[in-house]
């Protein structure tokens, strides 16, 4: 009987010791998501043009924040153009120490820390970052991710990393445009060193994709006539100068 009581007492002591040790070492529950961030971007951009993506803090964690980061991912039709100076991308007044890592071709992690830390956390909302992208047909989606400490988070008043509760995504399309209707898309003309608003600098009359012998033949046939299509100077008359201009463009090829 005495031996049984001793065993029970030892078991109780061991149980109490394990409980006392485990309590301070128990895993801390992750803080619940708080706050909101939002992407702002145009819905439509001309193919090949650059555009700006804004990131805004829309809602602060309840007790404020000492820092934040945003994780962005985007479609292959979009290209991020990183600024040489991180400070050029910062709009938040609480970002004397900006941080940025390009995680991959379509993946960016960017954040803000204020140095030194203020006595009290921030609670204000507003623009956080402004980033530059290029759009290529057909464009794509841009989204903010949340869920882990390498996604979009706030650092709250207790220095906990808090996942952002609400994030969004935007779709940016960039249809191909031929502003001067000369058969070569604007982005291709820019790549060729042509003027996308000058229909006279790409004389592909037969829409073959290149200024070739057939186009020269068409200009020769129209020589001495009034022909707005063949004319290269804007006076409607096809003169020797118009033929010379087509000859000068011989071999220019538009990728489309």
Domain of 221, CATH number, reads 1.10.1330.10
Give the pLDDT of residue 183.
87
pLDDT tier, 19 (very low <50, low <70, confident <90, very high otherwise) = very low
Measure CA 178 to chain center: 24
pLDDT of residue 74: 98
In a domain, 93, yes or no: yes
Same domain, 70 and 146: yes
Same structural domain for residues 196 and 161? no
- Structural domain total, the chain: 2
Contact 236, 248 (CB under 8 A): no
Alpha carbon distances (Å) from 33 to 49, 147, 152, 230: 36, 8, 10, 65
Query: Cα separations (Å) of 123 from 65, 127, 155, 190?
Result: 6, 13, 12, 46
pLDDT at residue 28, rounded to an integer: 56
**pLDDT score at 195:** 93
Examine the fold and report which residue of 121, 146, 173 is the final residue of a domain before the chain moves on. 173
Residues 105 and 225 in one domain: no
Task: Tell me the mean pLDDT in the region 154-180.
Answer: 94
What six digits make up the tokens of 184? 């070569």
Are the CB atoms for 151 and 30 separated by under 8 Å? no
CATH label of the domain that carries residue 155? 2.60.40.680
In which domain, by residue range, is 48 found?
34-173
Domain end residue (candidates: 138, 173, 208): 173
Domain check: are 66 and 142 in the same one?
yes
Question: Looking at residue 8, what is its pLDDT?
Answer: 36
Q: Is the pLDDT of residue 9 over 80?
A: no
Report yes or no on 206 lying in a domain. yes
Question: Which band of pLDDT confidence, cut at 50, 70 and 90, is reported for residue 23?
Answer: very low
Confidence of residue 27 (pLDDT cuts 50, 70, 90): very low
The answer to whether residues 71 and 151 belong to one domain is yes
164 and 190 part of one domain: no
pLDDT digits 0-9 by tens, 208-246: 999 999 999 999 999 999 999 899 888 999 999 999 999
Q: What is the signed CA dihedral for 185, 187, 188, 194, rounded to 10 degrees? A: 100
Q: Is residue 25 part of a domain?
A: no
Mean pLDDT, the chain, integer: 88
Closest C-alpha among 252, 136, 251, 256 to residue 194: 252
User: Percent of the chain at pLDDT above 70?
Assistant: 88
Which position has the higher pLDDT, 105 or 21? 105
Query: Mean per-residue pLDDT for 107-132?
Result: 96
The Cα 163–Cα 108 span in angstroms is 17
3-state secondary structure 88-116: HHECCCCCCEEEEEEEECCEEEEEEECCC
**Confidence (pTM):** 0.70
Confidence (pLDDT) at 16: 43
Name the pLDDT band for 85 (thresholds 50, 70, 90): very high
Asked if residue 105 has pLDDT above 60, the reply is yes
**116, 52: one domain:** yes
Q: Looking at 173, 207, 233, which one is the last position of a domain?
A: 173
């Amino acid at each position: 009987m005495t031996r049984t009581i001793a065993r029970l007492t030892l078991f109780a002591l061991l149980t109490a010791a394990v409980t006392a040790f485990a309590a301070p070492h128990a895993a801390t529950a992750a803080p619940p998501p708080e706050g909101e961030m939002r992407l702002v971007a145009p819905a439509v951009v001309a193919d090949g043009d650059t555009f700006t993506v804004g990131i805004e803090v829309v809602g602060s964690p309840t007790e404020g924040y000492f820092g934040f980061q945003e994780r962005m991912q985007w479609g292959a039709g979009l290209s991020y153009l990183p600024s040489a100076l991180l400070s050029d991308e910062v709009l938040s007044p609480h970002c004397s120490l900006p941080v940025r890592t390009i995680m991959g071709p379509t993946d960016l992690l960017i954040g803000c820390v204020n140095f030194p830390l203020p006595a009290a956390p921030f609670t204000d909302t507003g623009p956080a970052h402004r980033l530059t992208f290029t759009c290529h047909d057909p464009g794509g989606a841009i989204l903010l991710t949340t869920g882990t400490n390498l996604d979009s988070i706030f650092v709250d008043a207790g220095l906990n990393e808090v996942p952002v509760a609400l994030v969004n995504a935007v779709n940016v399309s960039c249809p191909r445009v031929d502003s001067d209707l000369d058969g070569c898309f604007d982005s291709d003309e820019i790549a060729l060193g042509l003027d996308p608003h000058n229909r006279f600098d790409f004389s592909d009359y037969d829409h073959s994709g290149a200024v070739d012998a057939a186009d020269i033949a068409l200009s020769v046939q129209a020589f001495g006539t009034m022909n707005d299509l063949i004319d290269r100077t804007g006076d409607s008359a096809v003169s020797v100068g118009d033929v010379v201009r087509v000859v000068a463009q011989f071999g220019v090829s538009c990728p489309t």
